[in-house]
Amino acid sequence: MAMTTIGKYVIERVVETERPYAPARDFFPDLSEDMLATCQRDLPAGQLTPDGMLQMSFHAYVIKTGRYVIMVDTCCGNGKERPLRPVFHQFKSDFIPALAAAGVRPEEVDFVMCTHLHWDHVGWNTRLVDGKWKPTFPNAKYIMSKTEFDYWDQVYQSGVKNTHTQAFEDSVDPVVRANQAVLVQDDYELEQGIWVEPCHGHSRGNFVINVASQGERGVLTGDVLHHQIQLRFPALSTVADDDADLARVTRTALINAHAGTGHLVLPAHFPAPSVGRIEAASVGGFRFDTES
């Protein structure tokens, strides 16, 4: 668990797991051997394993505004059927105890904001109770992009079977049936100083969450940025991106909008330290400054 502040808001990172995830050149199809060698040399320790695996974290952020407790994304979840993701199939983690260590009980969460509806961002939306998937946060409203929801609902209803539709079935649809889902447009503002911004490409309705208070600002980027490799080489999209070309455009725009501004950037998968600022790198591209 790590804590930071943006003005009056307190933000805590709640970790489900941090581990080597995939070979970098498999996850980034356009990453050459030379580019990988550059990243091995230039990126901070702990970003890549010696054999070129991406070190990645799966974590949520809790925002405490003084009025609300807001959960941003909910990781992978326990006991979910994910046969195409063997490491996460019937996964067991200590996420709820980690949330308790941040001083939050599930019933105290007022809002869950889903940057998008991929399997590793909605898992703890629900948990198994008496053989049925029930909302983990019983008093929360779950904020989802209507564009994102409509797309995955259509795919799910079509009968397609994949990890994302399994997640829709066990981690999104039960929230809707419990009347706890709120489908929003791209200009949604939860309260003054917390608003969503469309950043489509990784998924159909992907958004980032802006946080501003007392002259300070940050952005919770979800999967617009997966890894520091994409700061060194911003043009690199991933195999997980729905539209690689659009993801490249929106990612580059996001980096350029926040680089050199002092804004905090809080990605969903950067291993610790996961909160930093984007600065121009002397060797080219950008770097993630966790010292300022």
Domain span including residue 58: 2-289
Cβ atoms of residues 229 and 236 within 8 Å = yes
DSSP state of 237: -
Number of domains composing the chain:
1
17 bridge partner residues: 58
Does the model's pTM come out above 0.75?
Answer: yes
Tens-digit pLDDT profile for the chain (292 aa)? 578 999 999 999 999 999 999 999 999 999 999 999 999 999 999 999 999 999 999 999 999 999 999 999 999 999 999 999 999 999 999 999 999 999 999 999 999 999 999 999 999 999 999 999 999 999 999 999 999 999 999 999 999 999 999 999 999 999 999 999 999 999 999 999 999 999 999 999 999 999 999 999 999 999 999 999 999 999 999 999 999 999 999 999 999 999 999 999 999 999 999 999 999 998 889 999 996 5
- CATH assignment of the domain containing 123: 3.60.15.10
Cβ atoms of residues 126 and 176 within 8 Å = no
> How far is the C-alpha of 249 from the C-alpha of 68, rounded, in Å?
33
